[in-house]
Amino acid sequence: MNKVFLNLGRQPLANSFLKDIGKNTLRNEFFYNLKICFNTKNYLVSIDKPVNPKKQYTDKYAHRASESKTMRSAFKKVAKKLIKRFRPKKIMEIGSNDGVFLKNFNKKSVIAVEPCKNLASLTKKLFKTYDEFWNLKLAKKLIKQKKGEIDLIFSANTISHIPNLKETFEGIFNILSDDGVFVIEDPSLLKVLQNNSYDQFYDEHVYVFSTISVNNIVKDYGLRLFDVENLPTHGGSNRYYICKENGKYKNTSRLKKVIKSEISYKLHKIKSYLEFSKRVNISKRRLFNLIKKLKKKNKKIISYGATYKSTTVFNYCNFNSKMIDYVTDTTHNKQGKYTPGTHIKIISPEYGMNDTVDYAFLGAWNFKKEIFKKEKNFFKRGGKFITHVPRVMTLTK
């Protein structure tokens, strides 16, 4: 049964960057209550009332997976690894975004599934693209079009976004070849608890998976988790390798080790989540007080990276444009807009990361290494970053 353990308050859609902050726009801004729960039976951690996906994945979807160098090389690396290990002939990606993963394959052997039409239009020029949500209906349509028996299905930061896991996995079972592999990458719940990165919870992250919860869930749909890899991406993710129950792959010792580590961290106990919730409340108070103290000293504070994650932090910590002067982001379609719920201007780093800035909150803390490499001059002239992960602190390099 589901037990709520964290209330992150009134939140907007993480992707709802505003074109303007006129009365009309603000009157129509959608908010919901973000509460997170733990299922004591299958150990799934989820949003208690998911938002309708049609509200979220529109033709104005903002996130571009290829925006960071880190992710471009990560997708190139995993494509090579999967080709070497599984030698797939037919590949499908669910949530193909701007094609950053699939473009590493022979375009004749791939199928892209991407419901956001602005993204699907980018990949339609490159390979076969279905601009639809993944579900049982689409799986049956593909089979009817003789596009079934897929050897490798890949999905990064997408399965955790789909409320209806039953349809998702049933569709996978129907379309996957008998010795096919379904590989999913999603933020690691263990890392969220260890890093106090509560900003991994927002409307799109309907679930934050643990290995033990994925292991339980897939069994209900004739599937089996046979391997898992811990990854550094997005602040700590897991790459889950799933096959059909009677598939040829043996469960790896690595899987057994990861499950053991999650059990020893007590990810199967509600107590761990109640303790996490207490740490999140302390983090909120400390971050708010730090920003307030620096503003009292007339410091200029901006935020670096208009992330969906920082939407959660800004709204949970009640930030406003008097505390954060503006946000910088390299994504062109975010520049000139305003942050969801807190209405702080977003500009390009070329303009925003200038000599007047004293502090920059790390909205994109998951790219700290790449950002610190880029912003050496900011440090040289005495600039400092602020982060809340794994605890509230300022960083001089």
Using CB under 6 A as the binding rule, whether residue 56 contacts ligand DWN is answered as: no
Q: Which listed residue (237, 307, 342, 387) binds ligand DWN by CB under 6 A?
A: 307
What is the closest distance, in whole angstroms, from the C-beta atom of residue 370 to ligand DWN in the complex?
5
What is the closest distance, in whole angstroms, from the C-beta atom of residue 149 to ligand DWN in the complex?
29
Q: Which listed residue (98, 114, 204, 325) binds ligand DWN by CB under 6 A?
A: 204
3-class DSSP string for 159-227: HHHCCCHHHHHHHHHHHEEEEEEEEEEEECHHHHHHHCCHHHCCCCCCEECCHHHHHHHHHCCCEEEEE
**Residue among 3 and 373 whose Cβ is closer to ligand DWN:** 373
Q: Which listed residue (48, 229, 358, 370) binds ligand DWN by CB under 6 A?
A: 370
Token output for 69:
């160098």
| Residues facing 314 on adjacent strands | none
What is the closest distance, in whole angstroms, from the C-beta atom of residue 305 to ligand DWN in the complex?
3
Q: Which residue has the tokens 């999603």?
A: 186
Considering only CA atoms, give the Rg of the chain. Answer: 21
Could you tell me how many residues make up the chain?
A: 397
Using CB under 6 A as the binding rule, whether residue 367 contacts ligand DWN is answered as: yes
What is the closest distance, in whole angstroms, from the C-beta atom of residue 5 to ligand DWN in the complex?
21
Using CB under 6 A as the binding rule, whether residue 203 contacts ligand DWN is answered as: no
Q: Are 103 and 110 in contact (CB under 8 A)?
A: no
Strands 237-244 and 223-231: antiparallel
Q: Are 395 and 384 in contact (CB under 8 A)?
A: yes
For the window 228-257, what string marks contact with ligand DWN as x by the rule CB under 6 A?
Answer: ------x-----------------------
Q: Which listed residue (2, 66, 277, 330) binds ligand DWN by CB under 6 A?
A: 330
What is the closest distance, in whole angstroms, from the C-beta atom of residue 310 to ligand DWN in the complex?
7
Within 141-170, which residues bind ligand DWN (CB under 6 A)? 157
> Could you tell me which stretch among 262-270, 313-321, 323-331, 336-344 binds ligand DWN (CB under 6 A)?
323-331
Using CB under 6 A as the binding rule, whether residue 63 contacts ligand DWN is answered as: yes
**Residue among 191 and 309 whose Cβ is closer to ligand DWN:** 309
Residue 55's nearest CA partner among 206, 159, 173 is: 206
Query: Count of alpha carbons within 13 Å of 299, Cβ hemisphere only?
Result: 20
Q: Are 297 and 324 in contact (CB under 8 A)?
A: no
Dihedral sign, CA of 259, 262, 264, 269?
Answer: negative
**Residue among 213 and 328 whose Cβ is closer to ligand DWN:** 328
The phi, psi pair for 234, rounded to 5°, reads 50, 40
Using CB under 6 A as the binding rule, whether residue 194 contacts ligand DWN is answered as: no
Token output for 23:
């009365």
Interatomic CA distance for residues 53 and 203, integer angstroms: 9
Q: Which listed residue (251, 374, 390, 395) binds ligand DWN by CB under 6 A?
A: 374
Residues of this chain that bind ligand DWN (CB under 6 A) = 63, 67-68, 157, 204, 234, 305-309, 328-331, 334, 364, 366-367, 370-371, 374
